[in-house]
Homo-oligomer: A and B are copies of this chain.
Amino acid sequence: MADTLFWLTPIGSAFALFFAWLFFSRMMKESEGTERMAQIASYVRKGAMAYLKQQYKVVTLVFAALVILLAFMAFVLKVQNPWVPIAFLTGGFFSGLAGFFGMKTATYASARTAWAARKSLNSGLKIAFRSGAVMGLTVVGLVLLDIAVWFLVLRAFYPLTDDGHNLIIITTTMITFGMGASTQALFARVGGGIYTKAADVGADLVGKVEAGIPEDDPRNPATVADNVGDNVGDVAGMGADLYESYAGSILATMALGAAAFLGQGTLQLNAVVAPMAIAAVGTLLSILGIHLVRTREDATQKTLLNALGRGINASSLLIVVLSYFIVRALSLPTGIWLSLVFGLAAGLVIGKSTEYFTSHSYAPTRRIADNANTGPATVLIAGLGVGMVSTAVPVLAVILGIVFAFLSAAHFDVSNVAQGLYGIGIAAVGMLSTLGITLATDAYGPIADNAGGNAQMSGLEAEVRKRTDALDALGNTTAATGKGFAIGSAALTALALLATYVEELKVGLLRIGRTVLTFVDGTTMDTATASFPDYMRFYGITLMNPIVLVGIFLGAMMAFAFSGLAMNAVGKAAARMVDEVRRQFREIAGILEGKAEPDYARCVAISTRGAQRAMVLPSLLAIFTPIVTGLVLGVAGVMGLLIGATSTGFVLAIFMANAGGAWDNAKKYIEEGAHGGKGSPAHMAAVIGDTVGDPFKDTAGPSLNILIKLMSMVAIVMAGLTVAFSLM
């Protein structure tokens, strides 16, 4: 049965990639509008591609260095297997490819969306949403392809044995390509995030606040950089990010399946195949859901919103039903299906709470807007306060999700650790199973946003901008659900990876020939059959071990220091951008009257340079901290580090995302007329809040979700190094 259901994975991949290609080629047949529109779109496209080329150059160097390190570990130190360097490369390559395709689509779609929006809201939605779907389907298609191919290749070289150990080697080796994907994603998120926010902050502060000209006004020299930024940060960055999340959740759960059902015959292979099958079916349902997003030509904003909701709800409901049959067909306990349901429920609660805390239909964001009456300082204090308080609901939801997913998978037996953790992994897979469609609603926002920019810069009727803004707003509402799943799955996947780390320790010990564990009290145990709790006891991973405690502190600090480096990078590049825009306003005569063309290229160059330089340090920190901690503090230190970084990073990420979102919408609320509307002192104060929130919600926040998983994956891949050479 497992072998049959496995083939759903390549099938799902093929369907996803086919529909991505179909939507892309259909979109390309639409008109780009006027010559000016096509020209602006080509500026943005060229800028975005130029940046991505630069970024890939830096990333290639880092990958080259890491591949050499991994090869050294595999071939000289013999603490890893020879597939690891190649798997690492493919993960990085495909993750980058997902971002690249998504961005290419988005940069072709923006002018076309704007032109279609001239006709009707519905026409605009169709192009933007289908283009977002290209990204969603490309990501899931490439992940499923990568997973299916590697699973087949490794099974050919490590044939399944009765003792089940080869399946453990296969699944833990595959984690390496997750590490490749995470590394690529971190660079994309950090670099893209710095780029886009430096441009955005620079454009807003001088353009909107000082010169009083509208967003995306062609007189603003930073406008092109700002639109490029939306593509490299929000599209390419998001694509690489979700490739990483999706791959990470499936791979971690596969590895846990191999561990949890070790020695239970065919059930082990079934448990490994289950996450792949669920993801594959989720992908097919996503394609179905995307096709359900249909509306009549005279659709209003409300009916469009319903249409989007219908697509997402249908796929989510159907995955709940179908995954029950997958779990049963694979003879896995029904409790594991319940884990998936609890995971989805937690994701939904997180999505709803995100909406409550960041939408201006509710009290918290309105209170921030009220505080704009007393100036920027009170807006900022209120936003920071709301962001901090808002962490309560998502954390409680994740906690309940963890407890129930664990207990139901473990037959309510707390000591059944391996199966319980497998349930947590399945919950994460469930949350992301319909990524194909939820990512489509997420990625279409920046496309609509860019369409608006294009309309503004090419001087289309104000009605078009209003429609693209409406599309953007629609996307923000539906995207909340997808974001809830992404955030929740990050925490659950990180926990699953923590367990995979212990599993990889076992593989590492066996590889260096330590087949017996000798405990401090002199008793011994077989390395291959010892359980998770046995390993905890062997390495002394308790909360009274000072090394564990020290690791937890280190992890908590890492989350803050990493975010601080990202904030500083945005701050520095933004300050340079502000200076440059001010200089152009001052020195280029006639620029503000629209008589002289601004020097867009210089602003693009400032963002590019700022991002290139500043993304390296935080990213290397994320990669080398687990390695160094492992060598100095050993396994206890690494486990502390991972849980410290995961817990603090998770809460910090929610704080930054929600504070940023709330400031953004408080500003929009005022722009819609509250507290004096656009141009009022309250509006100025709210713009400052929004500006501070930008690097929170679009640079540091989303990067943290990758950071916690990347650190875990690095730890897993380096586990062999740790057990062989650690000082402690």
Contact = CB atoms under 8 A, between A and B. Distances in A.
Interface of A: 201, 205, 209, 370-371, 373-378, 380-382, 384-392, 395-396, 398-399, 402-403, 406, 414-415, 417, 420-421, 424, 491, 495, 498-499, 502, 520, 532-533, 535-537, 540-550, 552-557, 559-561, 563-568, 570-571, 574-575, 578-579, 639-640, 643-644, 647-648, 650-652, 655, 688, 691-692, 695, 728
B406 A570 contact: no
A579 B374 CA distance: 8
A675 to B, nearest CB: 13
Given A543-B640, A560-B651, A695-B381, A389 B565 contact: yes
19 contacts: A373-B575, A375-B688, A378-B575, A378-B578, A382-B575, A384-B692, A385-B570, A388-B560, A389-B560, A399-B554, A406-B546, A414-B545, A414-B546, A502-B544, A533-B540, A543-B643, A553-B650, A557-B651, A644-B647
> Which among A382, A647, A652 has the highest number of chain B CB atoms within 10 Å?
A647
B544 A391 contact: no
B382 A571 contact: yes
Nearest to A204: B377
A415 B395 CA distance: 34
A578 B374 contact: yes
A358 to B, nearest CB: 14
A338 to B, nearest CB: 15
A50 to B, nearest CB: 26
Top 10 closest A-B pairs, CB basis? A388-B564, A385-B567, A389-B564, A385-B568, A536-B542, A395-B557, A377-B691, A381-B571, A374-B578, A556-B647
B391 A560 contact: yes
> Which among A388, A392, A395, A548 has the highest number of chain B CB atoms within 10 Å?
A388
B647 A565 contact: no
A520 B399 contact: no
B381 A574 contact: yes
A260 to B, nearest CB: 12
Given A520-B415, A544-B536, A386 B688 contact: no
B389 A546 contact: no
Interface SS of chain A: helix
A578 B520 contact: no
A382 B568 contact: yes
Nearest to A491: B553
Nearest to A549: B495
A550 B403 CA distance: 8
A334 B385 CA distance: 47
Nearest to A578: B374
Given A377-B692, A384-B692, A544 B532 contact: yes
A385 B391 CA distance: 20
Contact of A556 (B374, B499, B640, B651): B651
A545 B560 CA distance: 26
Given A205-B375, A389-B560, 7 more contacts: A377-B688, A378-B571, A399-B553, A414-B545, A533-B544, A537-B542, A541-B542
A561 B392 contact: yes
Contacts of A414: 540, 545-547, 728
Contact of A648 (B389, B396, B647): B647
A552 B498 CA distance: 14
Nearest to A384: B567
Contacts of A564: 384-391
A188 B371 CA distance: 26
